[in-house]
C-alpha cells in the first residue's frame, strides 16, 4: 500500500512525490538502478527482500533504468545461454520479458512509484521499436499499481506536507553514462552533473558502483543573507552478480561489484513538531 504518498507528472521530465508528515514522521524511499532482473545472475532473493521491506513500511520505490537486462536475444552478440533464465527460452523473447516481469513485480505494484529506462531499454527501443519500460508500467498499473513512467533523466519534487506546511527537496536522476573508471569510480560525474542540473539530491546508476558523496554550496540571497545548501550525490549499484567467471564483464577486465541501492531517509525534526516543518535527509545503503 502507498500509506498516503502519491506521485504525479508535472512536466515532460518531472514528477511530484507527496509525502504526508505528522509529528516526527520518518519516510524512506528505496532508490534502485540496474536490477538486470531477467539475467540469470540477478540476485532475486536480495531484490525481493528489499522490495518486501519497502512494501511492509508503505514506502515508495523508484527504479532509475536497466530494470531489464534484455541482452539474451539471438541478435545480440553479448548473448549468453548461461545468463538466459529458463522461462525466457520459449521464442518470443521480448514478450516473455514483459509478461514474466509484470507477474514477478505484481506484488509490489502498490510500492513502485517511478520506473525510468536505462541504456539497456533504450537499446531495445532503437533496434526493435519496443518500449519495455512502458509496457511493464502499463502491465503493473492494470494490476492495481499507480506507477509513473520516468525518462532517462528527470526531476522528482519531494513535497513533504504537514497540514498547511510544505517543505520541498529536489531530486535529480539520470540513469548514468561513461564507464566508471577504477580510479574515479564515477565520482567525477557528480561534479559534471552538479554544473548542469540544480538539485538537493542527485541519483544515478549505470556503472555498477555504489558510492555516496556530499557537498555544501554557499550563496547570497536577495535579502543579503549567506545561506548554505547541502547536496547529496548517490550512485546505485546493481543486483546482477558479476563474479560469474565468464562473460562480457569479465572479458573487460572487471571484477565483482557491490549489490544494492540506497534508502533515502526524510525525517521530520522531532524537536520542532508543532512549529515550522524541518526535514533532515540522509542516505542508508540497502
Q: Which of 46-50, 230-234, 271-275 has the lowest mean pLDDT?
A: 271-275
Q: Per-residue pLDDT tens for 236-246?
A: 999 999 865 55
Residues 203 and 32 sit within 8 Å (Cβ to Cβ): no
Q: What is the pLDDT of residue 186?
A: 65
The angle formed by the CA atoms of residues 38, 41 and 45, to the nearest 5 degrees, is: 80
pLDDT exceeds 70 at position 250: no
- Residue 143 forms beta bridges with which residues? none
φ, ψ of residue 172 to 5 degrees: the values are: -110, 135
Closest by CA position to 175, among listed 162, 186, 184, 191: 186
| Amino acid 1: pLDDT | 45
pLDDT digits (tens, 9 = 90+) for 213-224: 999 999 999 999
SS3 7: strand
Q: Determine the length of the chain.
A: 286
Residue 86 pLDDT exceeds 90: no
**Residue 263 CA neighbour count, 13 Å, CB half:** 15
Whole-angstrom Cα distance, residue 66 to residue 50?
17
CB 227 within 8 A of CB 248: no
Higher pLDDT, 81 or 148: 148
Q: What topology is assigned to 6-285 in CATH?
A: Purple Acid Phosphatase; chain A, domain 2 (3.60.21)
The gap from C-alpha 72 to its chain's centroid, in whole angstroms, comes to: 23
- Chain mean pLDDT for the chain: 89
Grid coordinates of 165: 506546511
54 half-sphere exposure, CB direction, 13 A CA radius:
32
Q: What is the mean pLDDT of residues 97-107?
A: 97
Our CA dihedral for 196, 202, 203, 208, rounded to 10 degrees, sits at 70
77: left (phi over 0), alpha (psi -120 to 50) or beta: alpha
Q: Where are the beta strands (DSSP E) in 140-259?
A: 148-149, 153-162, 165-174, 201-204, 211-220, 226-235
Q: Which residues pair with 228 in a beta bridge?
A: 218
What pLDDT is stored for residue 130 in this prediction?
Answer: 94
Neighbours of 200 (CB within 10 A): 17
Contact 263, 284 (CB under 8 A): yes
Amino acid at each position: 500500500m502507498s500509506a498516503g504518498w502519491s506521485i504525479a507528472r508535472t512536466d515532460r521530465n518531472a514528477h511530484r512525490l507527496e509525502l504526508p508528515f505528522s509529528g516526527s514522521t520518518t519516510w524512506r524511499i528505496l532508490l534502485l538502478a540496474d536490477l538486470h532482473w531477467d539475467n540469470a545472475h540477478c540476485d532475486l532473493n536480495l531484490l525481493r527482500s528489499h522490495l518486501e521491506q519497502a512494501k511492509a513500511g508503505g514506502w515508495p520505490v523508484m527504479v532509475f533504468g536497466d530494470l531489464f537486462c534484455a541482452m539474451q536475444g539471438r541478435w545480440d552478440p553479448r548473448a549468453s545461454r548461461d545468463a538466459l533464465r529458463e522461462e525466457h527460452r520459449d521464442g518470443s523473447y521480448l514478450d516473455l520479458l514483459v509478461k514474466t516481469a509484470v507477474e514477478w513485480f505484481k506484488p509490489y505494484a502498490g510500492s513502485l512509484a517511478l520506473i525510468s529506462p536505462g541504456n539497456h531499454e533504450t537499446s531495445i527501443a532503437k533496434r526493435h521499436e519496443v518500449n519495455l519500460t512502458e509496457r511493464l508500467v502499463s502491465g503493473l498499473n492494470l494490476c492495481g499499481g499507480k506507477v509513473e513512467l520516468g525518462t532517462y533523466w528527470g526531476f522528482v519534487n519531494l513535497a513533504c506536507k504537514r497540514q498547511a506546511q510544505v517543505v520541498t527537496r529536489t531530486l535529480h536522476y539520470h540513469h548514468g553514462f561513461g564507464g566508471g573508471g577504477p580510479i574515479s569510480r564515477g565520482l567525477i560525474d557528480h561534479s559534471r552533473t552538479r554544473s548542469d542540473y540544480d538539485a538537493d539530491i542527485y541519483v544515478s546508476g549505470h556503472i555498477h558502483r555504489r558510492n555516496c558523496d556530499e557537498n555544501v554550496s554557499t550563496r547570497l540571497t536577495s535579502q543579503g543573507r549567506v545561506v548554505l545548501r547541502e547536496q547529496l550525490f548517490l550512485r546505485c549499484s546493481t543486483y546482477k552478480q558479476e563474479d560469474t567467471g565468464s562473460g562480457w564483464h569479465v572479458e573487460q577486465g572487471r571484477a565483482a561489484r557491490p549489490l544494492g541501492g540506497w534508502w533515502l531517509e526524510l525525517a521530520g525534526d522531532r524537536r520542532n513538531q508543532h512549529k515550522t516543518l524541518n526535514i533532515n535527509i540522509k542516505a542508508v545503503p540497502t
